[in-house]
Amino acid sequence: MSEAIAEPLTPEIVFREYAPRIYHIARRMLGNDADAEDVTQDVLLQVIRKLDTFRGDAQITTWLHRVTVNAALAFRQKRANRQKHEVHETPAESLEIAPAHSPVKRWNIGPEEPVLAAEQSAVIGKAIDDLPDPFREVYVLADVEGLPNSEIADMLGLSVPAVKSRLHRARLRMRDSLAPHFEGGIAS
């Protein structure tokens, strides 16, 4: 995303500059393409309707992040309601993790490369998609988007300790999911 937009914001500029960013966050949070597209449409409409109120890129970027997260959460809630899954949702503190006494193989971690190979990206992307919703939301915002725990807590209406707990468990699950691949040698 550009640091500053000198020209006045128009719907075309908004689309070009922000649609990929909105889609990325929604796709990672929701775990599938079709839902991400719906959320991107919803957020773009919200931005375009408020174009007159934005005065700079920094302001719109911060606002967009929050609006996209809220739209993704609302979308997921609507989907759960439609499917009558409100009570079927994974309990927020429950996530199966390999027990501490399981034997651990050393990962094949080679010299650090600045860019991931396509195969690695696919494996990691799939592991994120497979996280249960409440864990994936926290995980994406923290470890993919790099937001501070306090900001995530604020966005998701959680306490900071709850964010840390979910993030830790999500990382443990991600480690378990990636282990067969890194033990086997796709590591960079």
Partner 1 sequence: MNLTCERIRELLFDHHAGELVVEERESFESHLTTCENCTYFVESYVHTVKVVRKLPRCGLPADAEARLREKLKKHFT
User: Which residues lie near partner 1 (CB under 8 A)?
Assistant: 11-12, 15, 19-21, 23-24, 27-28, 33, 36-37, 40-41, 44-45, 48, 100-101, 103-107, 109, 114-116, 120-121, 124-125, 128, 143-144, 146, 164, 167-168, 171-172, 174-175, 178-179, 182, 187-188
d(CA 75, CA 39): 7
d(CA 115, CA 112): 9
Q: What are phi and psi of 134, to 5 degrees?
A: -65, -30
137 token code pair = 């939301």
Task: Name which of 56 and 180 has its Cβ closer to partner 1.
Answer: 180
Give min distance, CB of 87 to partner 1, in A: 29
Reading phi first (left if > 0) and then psi (alpha if -120 to 50, else beta), residue 84 is in left
Give min distance, CB of 65 to partner 1, in A: 14
Task: Name which of 15 and 63 has its Cβ closer to partner 1.
Answer: 15
54 token code pair = 């934005």
